[in-house]
């Protein structure tokens, strides 16, 4: 895992989704069909398909409706937020703090990184509230 330009990359998954990929992923995650979403938006199924393929971009009103339907923020759909419900400012704050932690962790040897990780995991498991 590393951070570059405020974007969190997870090892083995260096792909950042763009708008059309996020729209499709959100729809599929919810188990919705294109027909269901196009009916909710009152648009032709071909229009929704063009949003998901990247041939067209939804206008602001449609983007707002899609965010509401998928229960995510517009910032998340636009790729400006890593988390589905966080604002851009919250995401930036998390990125800054994560970057600070990663800078410290990257100064450790591989053995000490593993020790740090197991210590944190142990601490968390011992301090879980029932």
pLDDT per residue as tens digits for the range 35-88? 999 999 999 999 999 999 999 999 999 999 999 999 888 888 988 766 666 666
3 forms beta bridges with: 8
pLDDT at 98: 87
Q: Which residues contact 20 (CB under 8 A, 6 or more apart)?
A: 51, 52, 53, 54
Domain ranges of the chain: 17-78
Give the pLDDT of residue 79: 82
H-run or E-run covering 116: helix 110-126
Paired tokens of 14 = 């260096």
For residue 90, is pLDDT > 80? Answer: no
Fold of 17-78: 434 Repressor (Amino-terminal Domain) (1.10.260)
Our CA angle for 56, 62, 68, nearest 5°, is: 130
């Amino acid at each position: 895992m590393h951070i570059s330009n405020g974007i969190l990359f997870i090892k083995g998954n260096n792909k950042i989704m763009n708008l059309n990929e996020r729209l499709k992923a959100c729809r599929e995650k919810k188990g919705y069909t294109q027909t269901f979403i196009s009916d909710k938006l009152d648009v032709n199924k071909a229009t929704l398909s063009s949003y998901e393929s990247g041939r067209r971009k939804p206008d602001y009103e449609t983007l707002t409706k899609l965010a509401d339907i998928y229960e995510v923020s517009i910032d998340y759909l636009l790729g400006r937020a890593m988390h589905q419900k966080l604002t851009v400012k919250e995401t930036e704050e998390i990125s800054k703090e994560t970057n600070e932690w990663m800078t410290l962790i990257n100064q450790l040897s591989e053995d000490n990184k593993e020790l740090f990780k197991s210590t944190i995991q142990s601490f968390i498991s011992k301090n879980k509230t029932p």
